[in-house]
Amino acid sequence: MKVWIFHLLRVTRFIADVNLGKLSKYLRLLGFDTLYKNNYEDDEIVEIANKERRIILTRDTELLKRKQVVRGYWVRSTLPKKQIREVINRFDLKNSDRIFSRCLKCNGLIRSVAKEKIVDKLLPNTKKYFSSFYQCRNCGKIYWQGSHYKNMVKEIEQ
């Protein structure tokens, strides 16, 4: 007798249009792979989405009417905080987040980095008061758990 074991390997990846910059940032904050540029052309969005198996997020219904669109969702709300709740609920992502694992700037993955490797890039007070740092593997942006981190955690909890 054969036993088949299936693992749900669901990787939800997005590409967002020009109208959803703040939503993209929230999705990245929660660790969701989200491509966004404010100068993507509609054809480019569709091409990238199909090639990389991404879900198109848009406020433009005309974009979703294109016959080449395979996966897409029209975000109904115009308010970023409501948009993030809408997308999380629509795609059942409540327990899928990997908070602070992606760069807010470029969507790259973030990793822990030794202070010694980046000390020359830190401001004096950051150097003085913080010891744990993280860096984007793609663009090199540096993160630490300062007051901005605490504010983001509060916002996520809401």
What is the pLDDT tens value at each position of the chain, 158 positions in all?
A: 444 444 444 689 999 999 999 999 999 999 999 999 999 999 999 999 999 999 999 999 999 999 999 999 999 999 999 999 999 999 998 877 788 999 999 999 999 999 999 999 999 999 999 999 999 999 999 999 887 777 777 777 76
Q: Based on the domain organization, do 116 and 81 belong to the same domain?
A: no
Domain boundary among 60, 90, 120: 90
Q: Domain total for the chain?
A: 2
Reference 14, options 61, 63, 48; nearest CA is: 48
Q: What is the CA radius of gyration of the chain?
A: 18
Q: Based on the domain organization, do 63 and 114 belong to the same domain?
A: no
Q: Based on the domain organization, do 56 and 114 belong to the same domain?
A: no
Q: Based on the domain organization, do 116 and 49 belong to the same domain?
A: no
Rounded to the nearest angstrom, the gap between the alpha carbon of residue 15 and the centroid of all alpha carbons in its chain is: 9
pLDDT score at 51: 97
- With contact defined as beta carbons under 8 Å apart, do 45 and 52 qualify? no
pTM: 0.86
pLDDT score at 5: 44
pLDDT score at 158: 67
Range of the domain at 142: 110-157
Reference 100, options 139, 54, 133; nearest CA is: 133
